[in-house]
Every structure is written in structure tokens, then in C-alpha cells.
Amino acid sequence: MPATDPRKPSRRDVSRRTFLKRASWTGAGMTALVVGAGRGRASGQATAAASYPEWIPASTKPPKRGGVLTRASAWDPPLIDPRLTQSVGLYQFAGLTSNRLVRYALSDEAGGPSDLTLKGDLAESWQSDSANRVWTFKLRQGVKWQNVAPLKGRELTAADVKYCYEAYAKEGVQTFTFQEIEGMETPDKYTLRVHLKSPNTLFPQNVAEPIAIVFAREVLEEDGDLKKRLIGTGPYIMKEHSRKVRVVLQRNPDYFDKGRPYIDEYVILSTPDDSTRKAAFRTGQADFIWVASPSEVEVLRKTNPNAVVQAYHNTLAPFGVALAQDKPPYNDVRVRRAISMAIDRQKQVDTVFEGHGIPGWGVPYLYYQDKAPTLKELGPWVQYRPEEARKLLAEAGHGKGFETTLFYYEYFPQMSSQVQLVQQDLKKNLNIDMKITKLDYTTYYGRYVEGKWDGMSWGFQSGHAVGLDERTYHYMYSRSTKNFFRVNDTVIDDLTTKLRRTADRNEQRAITKKIVDREFDQVLRMWMPYDNGFLVFQPHVQNAAARALRRSDGYGSPTLARAWLDK
Amino acid sequence: MQKYVIRRLLLAVPVLLLSSLIVFGLMRVMPGDALIALMGESGNVGQKELAKLRKDLGLDKPYHEQYMLWLWQMVSLNPGDSIFTNEPISVSLKKAIPVTLELAALAMILGITIAVPIGVLSATRQDTTADYAGRVVAVSGLSIPDFWLATLVITFSAIWVHWIPPIGYVSFWDSPWRNLQQFLLPAAVLGYRLAAATMRMTRSTVLETLREDYVRTAWAKGLAGRIVVYKHALKNALIPVVTIIGGQLGTLLAGTFVIEQIFALPGMGRLTVEAILYRDYPVVQTNVMLVAAILVTLNLIVDLTYAWLDPRIRYQ
């Protein structure tokens, strides 16, 4: 009988008993290894997180020309028409293909992450009349559109900007900002005069937002939309846009800022999976990456010990508990205050954000004070005081608690833990039964912005804006279409309107502080702890640091016009 | 045979019609709105503007009209444009289908190449270390989810060998070597599950066949072991294996959805996932119908293969 006869016993037979025994020992060994590795990581992270700087100053070396900067990106632009989207997927590069009238200081010009100085971009200067209703922008002369058909390098004029702003006001997602323009004139090729419907001292900040890029009229007229071509005046020309594959930007040799940009090509690789993005960074396929937590930084640094880490400066929290405050029981300020006091924010900072995070506020603190507020400074209703919370809720007639709902979309993994901690706190301290519904993005977004929901939502404010006007009037004025938290407070309405009419910087700070105090006193938006995370760069990447509210891989991409590769 | 094929093709029509109704209905009952997803990021979506867009896109029509219009578009092989990008769906599919096909084909080749020899080996060396090892590999393949295995593979490749497949899809015709680098790892991960199921089935059917009288006769005639196993036993053992491979094709296509996300490949999976997230109705509907049509066709092919493998089978 041949050796392959299956019925013949073999000398290498392994009994089931032996096999199970060996498998158990192997399993036990593996478990011990995993547990050991986990412990090692946890103990090292707290000390490391504290040591990462919030700012990386500009390199003192002379910049080198050339090279290719590559990044694995979570975002794929849904479409490239700036009238139709404010998605970071588009603005991770649109600020490099196109310019705005004015801009914020770039990394090599800024004194630190909090520097929000306005600089001229397409405009050389700008000023308003005494009533702050007419703004005159003097454009830079000799700015050329990119040398691509149908523009073919023709000169940019004030009429181009006028056309663009009119298109923004006519339709799309930017109508709220641009519909405040009553009319525009172009007395000459290089002057744009903007007449506003009401005074606004903060109008230049609004047109400095990355979403206010100036697009080419010829493209809109020829194509009927801007979904196929993105042609601007910026430092990079869009050479390729293959959806779900890559965006390739090529240096614009005719860029008005002579000698810049330094890098020849910027390649953004569409990489939806987080572990793949990290693997790309580890293997050098990506030059920089954003990670959420200190422990993730530590894990990355094990394979890339020379990586340069920037702790992204926390200036605000974009997420918080939004209450249907136009309906009972949340239209009662006592209920809002009780809920706020029943939530242990410090516990969230310590556990969910590994001790590296802020307790949460909505208006960037830079606009009203120099240092980030502590939990204590945010007022009495933010402190964790469950006893007082219980009493206050009883006073409001809900001593036995009540049932409510909360829906959310998980923007980042830690968010689900936060939601569950809030649920736990409210049940334990106030006997509020909160039913949580986790939704996909589109369902969440549709329901949230429609603003007709009951109960609670894990609310947000958009991430694209830096400006004070956007962060106050646009998000809190009762009749604003961006008032997602359903704030309806006459004091806030008066203050935000007054702020727009106030030119003096110190007065602006004082009014902003009043707005913030009022917001916290009335618990109009119940901010939750947040951490902006970390940017990790390969050691050869220079001048790409993120500024406050401006991540270099996102809405802050224009700063990459000043980045260079030291290799 | 011809009559059988025609009958099966005719039977496919109600199956596809039912699929079209299900996918059309599901997309409409799903909460969320394509236009909110498209316009809603600023929050300032005017009702008038939404109404205008709905009209432009034909979304204001009654459901039955929308369905009939879409059905006509499908029959006339012109599935329309994406709501989001305005790109004709046929163009998106032309880009995505080759990616998914290449991934699925490579996965299948790898899976079968690994599974059948190991399955045979496991059967011919029953209850030996080799058999146990093969069974552990097979059970692991069935129990480990694709996404988890893919994540582990990509993470540990980066840590241990400092290499991962190059990100940023390149077609085989542009750069064969780079393309293969991009596909081998994901195909191996995807093929592992297929291999696992096939391996187990091969083992058990070969074991069963080896106990048949005609195999015993072959042994008694003094034929070489290789001839007995591969010529006499394996071919007859393959029918259930082909069935299981056919059944796994659906799983394989579903697996591409996850694998394409992780390995950043722009195939049908990513196209569909993104379209579902953005409620891009025409894209989702077309993609699902295409997958349904592919599965119906593949099942037919699998059924026809039986006759080739076993001449005793006749189709009437």
C-alpha cells in the first residue's frame, strides 16, 4: 500500500489532547505578550504628551527648491466646485491652487500658533469708510491666472473678484456670507469697492477664510459649473484629480510671489483607512500625518524616532451637547444648567483624551483673552457639582428625571466614549434616561442642520472658519442659518450685532468676553471636552507647522506654499 | 443544454427586477438626503434652492416615475449621471470595474492555488501535524474578519519590513510591476477566506472519495499514489468544491468593499460605499444591479461547470 494511503497511521500523528495542550500554552503566551505591551504603552504616554511643542518656528536655514511632498489623506474631495461645498476634502488643496483677497499669516510669517494677523493675498491693502459699510480693496498688480486654457495666464482684475463674489451670493453654500454684500463697484482694474447691507468691521476676516477663494469666470461660463476644473492664481496648478486615487499639484512657475513655492509637486493620496495612513507615514510614503492622541504619537515614534511632532494648539471645541432649547424641558435655563453641572468634563479630559485636551468652549479664546481658560474660569455651570444639579433640576419640576434622546455621528473614535460618559453621568446624577442613536454622516447632518429635532444632539460648529464674525454672529445670531444650536437670546443678538460694528480691537475683546460669559451663564451651547490632536512630520519637512484653527493638512493648506524639503 | 441556459436566463429577469425594486426602495426609505449631503455643510440650505435642485435632478417626481425612468436607463445601458459629481456613471464604472475584477481574480487564483493542494494534503495525511496545521489555517481563515486581517497585515508590514503596497492606484497597463505590488497583498488577504472554505471542502470531499470502492480498486491495481489521488479521486471530489467556490464569489465581491477601503484601491467597493454615504441614488442603484447581474451570471456558469466535471450530469 502506498505511503499516501489516508488510512495508514503516521509517526507524526498528534493527538487531540496534545494539540489542545500546545494551543492553550501558545494562547496564554500571546495574551501575556499583548497585555505586557499594552501596559508599557500606557505608562509612557503621559510624560511624552506634555513634551510636544505647540509651535514649530520657521527654519533658519535657507529654503531649498524642489522635491515632492506627499500625504496620505483621509479626505477625498466630494466635488471641486467651491460654490457647492465647504468640505475639507476640497480645501486641503484649493487654497494652494487659488487665492483670496486677504489671508492669515502663514507659518513662516507667524509669531506663534495664535497669530491671526491678516495679510494681503490678492489685495495689497484694504480699508473701510467710517461707517464700516463700504470696504475698498486695492488689488496687487500683475497677478496672472495660471497658464492653463481657457485662462492662459491672463491678468486678474477686480472684475474677476466681483464676478466670483456675485456667484457665491447667488447660489451654493456661501450665500449667507456673500449675501450681506449690497453691491460692488470696480472703479478701475485694480480696485474693488464692496457695499455691505449693514456695517461689519469683520468683513475682511470673512473673505480671508479659506473657502472664499477666487475662481475663474471663464471656467464657470464654459462648463456651467466648477466640478471639472479648478483654475486659480495660486502657487500650485492642479495637474491631476483622480477621484479616490490622488490629487497632484504642480508648481506654478508664474506665481506672483516670486521664488515660491519651493516644492515642485504636492501629491495627496486618497487613503480612507487610518491604519493605512499610519503605515504610509511609517514607510515614508507620506511626509506628514495627523493623529488623535498622545499614545498614537508614541506608537508612531517607535518606528520613526526622528519624526517631528507638533501638538495642535487647542483654541476651541467644535463639539458639544446641543439641546432643543426652544422646547420643554430645555427652554428652562435651570434644566440646562443642571445638565451641564451633572457632566464630569474633567473625567472626559483625563480618560478619553489621555489628559491632553480642553474642557470645551465655542468662541476661540484668542479673541477675548491671552491664555486658554481653565475649567474653573468657565463659570459655575460647567463645574461638576451633581448635588447642586439634582436640586436645580428638582426646582425646575423634574426631580424624578425624565427620558430623552441624543443622536450623533462619530466624527472621531473618542466621541462615542464621550457620548457614553455623558449618558452615564446624566443617569447617575439626574436620573435622566438618554437613548443614544448613532447615525451615518448624511443622516446625522440632514437631521441636525434641519434643526427640527427634539431632545439632544451631539452638535458641532463648522471647522472651516477662523474669523470672529463667523464664530459669533454667524453661529449664534438667532436668525442666522448657521445657528445650529438654536440659540435665541436677545442679549446675544445685540452683542453679536454690536461686535460687527465695533472697530476698536480692545472693545471687540470686551464685547466678545461678554458674549462668551452670556453663553456660559445661560448654557446656550453646552461644549464638551476636545483635543485637536497632533501633527507628525518627517524630519525633512520644513515650515509646515499648523497655526491656531488651521491644520496644514486641512483648511490651513495655503501655508504649504512656504514649506520646503530639507533633503 | 441550450434550452436550459435560455430558461435560466429568462428566470434571471424576475430576480433582477426584484433586486431593482429592493435597492430602489431601500435607497428611498433610508434617512438622509443626497441634497442635504451635497449642500448642507454650511447649514444655510434654502428650501427654495433645495426644491430647485430636486427638480433639476428629477427627485421631485413620484417614486414610480423615478423607478420607471431608472429602469429604462438601465435597460438602454445608459444609467445616467452621479448626483454628486455629474460624472456619467458609465465612466465611473469603467474606471472602477477593472480594479475590482483584478482584485477578485487575483484573490481567486491565489485562494484556489493554495486551497486545493493543502486540502488534498490534509486529506491524504489525515490526523497528522500537517493536517492539523492545514485545518487551523482553514478555521482561522473562516473566523478572522477581512478588515481585521488586512489591518494587521498592513500595520505589521510597515513595522517589520518597512514596506506596504504603494498607495495611489496605477493600472496594470501603465506599470505592471507597481500594479502587482499594489494588488498582491490585498488579493492574498481576500483570497485567504476563499482558500479557507475551499480547503475544508476539498479535504472532506477528497477524504470521502478516497474511501470509495473504485479508489480502493485503483490502490489494489497497484497504481501510483499520485495517480490515484489526483487522477481518480480529485476530479470526482471537485464538484462540491466548485459549488463552494461559486457560493464564495458573492462573499469575495463583498470582501472587496472592505479591502478596497483599507488598501486604498478605487474599485467598485469604494465607489459604492461613498455613494451610499452621500445618498448618490443613481450610483448605488446601478452598482448594486451590476453586482446582482454578475452573481446571477456566475451562478449559471458554476451550474454549467458541473456537467463538464461530471459527465453523468445532464441538463434538461
Q: Which of the residues A174, A248, A267, A283 would you substitute to probe the B interface, choosing the one with the greatest number of B C-beta atoms within 10 Å?
A: A283
Confidence of residue A22 (pLDDT cuts 50, 70, 90): low
* Residues of chain B neighbouring A285 (CB-CB closer than 8 A): 164, 166-167
A522-544 pLDDT, tens per residue?
Answer: 999 999 999 999 999 999 999 99
Q: Report the percent of chain A where pLDDT is more than 70.
A: 91
**Furthest C-alpha separation in chain A:** 107
> Angle at CA B69, nearest 5°, toward B65 and B74?
145
Mean pLDDT of A494-520: 97
Q: Which residue of B has its CA nearest to A20?
A: B132
- Cβ A12–B128 below 8 Å, yes or no? yes
pLDDT digits (tens, 9 = 90+) for B164-221: 999 999 999 999 999 999 999 999 999 998 899 899 999 999 999 999 999 999 999 9
pLDDT at residue number A13:
44
Neighbours of A5 (CB within 10 A): 13
Three cell numbers, residue A100: 483670496
Q: Do A446 and B37 touch (CB under 8 A)?
A: yes
B175-180 contacts, C-beta under 8 A, 24 or more apart: B179/B102
Give Dmax (Cα) for chain B.
Answer: 86
A455 neighbors A405 (Cβ within 8 angstroms) = yes
The reply to whether residue A280 touches residue B164, judged by beta carbons under 8 angstroms, is: yes
Which residues of chain A have a CB within 8 Å of the CB of B32?
440, 442-447
Instruction: Give the pairing type, strands A403-408 and A433-438.
Output: parallel
> Of the ranges A191-195, A242-246, A320-324, A517-521, which one carries the lowest mean pLDDT score?
A242-246
| Chain B neighbors of A449, CB-CB under 8 A | 36, 40, 43, 45
* Cβ contact A439–B163 (<8 Å): no
Task: Give the distance, in angstroms, between the CA of residue A159 and the centroid of all CA atoms in the same chain.
Answer: 32
- Nearest chain B residue (CA) to A301: B159
Q: How distant is the Cα of B2 from the closest Cα of chain A, in angstroms?
A: 42
CB contact under 8 A, B42 and A245: no
Could you say which of B163, B166, B262 has the minimum Cβ distance to residue A273? B262
pLDDT bracket for residue B55 (50, 70, 90): confident
Could you count the other beta carbons within 10 Å of the beta carbon of residue A548? 24
Contact B265, B259 (CB under 8 A): yes
ipTM of the complex: 0.86
A446/B224 touch (CB, cutoff 8 Å), yes or no:
no
Collect all residues of chain A within an 8 Å Cβ-Cβ radius of residue B278. 78, 442
Dihedral angle computed from the Cα positions of residues A10, A12, A13 and A16, in that order, rounded to the nearest 10 degrees: -170
Distance from the B223 Cα atom to the nearest Cα atom in chain A, whole angstroms: 9
Contacts of B261 in chain A (CB under 8 A): 272-273
For B128, the closest of A2, A13, A86 (CB atoms) is: A13
Q: Which range, A136-145, B48-57, B288-297, is most confident?
A: A136-145
Written as one string, the DSSP assignment of A424-452 is HHHHHHH--EEEEEE--HHHHHHHHHHT-
Mutation target vs A (from B28, B36, B44; most A CBs, 10 A cutoff): B44
> Angle at the Cα of B241 (from B240 to B242), degrees rounded to 5?
90
Using the Cβ of A445 and the Cβ atoms of chain B, whether some distance falls under 8 Å is answered with yes
Q: What is the rounded average pLDDT for all residues in chain B?
A: 88
Of B33, B166, B226, the CB nearest to A285: B166
How far is residue B129 CA from its own chain's centroid?
33
A210, A100 contact by CB (below 8 A): yes
Give A299-330 pLDDT, tens digit per residue.
999 999 999 999 998 899 999 999 999 999 99
Report CA torsion sign: B12, B13, B14, B16.
positive
pLDDT band for position B52 (cuts 50, 70, 90): confident
Chain A positions in Cβ-Cβ contact with residue B226 (cut-off 8 Å): 4
User: Pairing mode, if any, of strands A191-196 and A181-188?
Assistant: antiparallel
Interface test with A, best of B56, B139, B148, B167 (most A CBs within 10 A): B167
Q: What is the pLDDT of residues A98-142, one digit of tens each?
A: 999 999 999 899 888 888 899 999 999 999 999 999 999 999 999
Chain B nearest CA to A43, separation (Å):
21
Q: What amino acid occupies position B119?
A: G
Tell whether the model's pLDDT for residue B31 goes beyond 90.
no
Closest-CA residue of chain B to A15: B127
Instruction: Please tell me the distance from the alpha carbon of residue A2 to that of residue B202, in angstroms, as a whole number.
Output: 21
A173:B41 CB<8 A: yes
- Residue A380's SS3 state is helix
A249/chain B closest Cα distance in angstroms: 14
Report pLDDT for B57.
Answer: 75
Average pLDDT rounded to a whole number, residues A508-524: 98
Decide if A389 contacts A383 (C-beta within 8 A).
no
A445/B262 CB distance under 8 A: no
- Give which of A243, A246, A304 to mutate to test B binding, by max B Cβ within 10 Å: A243
Does residue A73 sit at the B interface (CB-CB below 8 Å)? no
Is some CB atom of chain B closer than 8 A to the CB atom of A14? Answer: yes
Q: pLDDT tens digits for B67-120?
A: 998 899 888 888 888 887 888 999 999 999 999 999 999 999 999 999 999 999
Q: By the CB < 8 Å criterion, does A253 face chain B? A: no
**Structure confidence by residue, pLDDT tens digits, A367-402:** 999 999 999 999 999 999 999 999 999 999 999 999
B243, pLDDT greater than 70: yes
* A79 has a chain B CB within 8 A of its CB: yes
Put simply, the answer to whether A6 touches B210 (Cβ < 8 Å) is: yes
Put simply, the answer to whether A446 touches B84 (Cβ < 8 Å) is no
Rounded to a whole number of angstroms, the distance from the CA of A414 to the nearest CA of chain B is 19
Are the beta carbons of A272 and B261 separated by less than 8 Å?
Answer: yes
Q: How far is A225 from chain B (nearest CA, A)?
A: 10
What is the tens place of the pLDDT at every residue in A75-108? Answer: 988 789 999 888 889 999 999 999 999 999 998 9
Residue of A nearest to B44 (CA): A481
What local confidence, expressed as pLDDT, does residue A12 receive? Answer: 42
pLDDT at A21: 55
Size of interface A-B (CB pairs under 8 A): 177
pLDDT per residue over A450-470, tens digit each? 788 999 999 988 777 889 999
Domains of chain A: 16-80+232-313+532-565 (3.40.190.10), 96-223 (3.90.76.10), 319-530 (3.10.105.10)
pLDDT band for position A144 (cuts 50, 70, 90): very high
CB contact at 8 A, A537 and A284: no
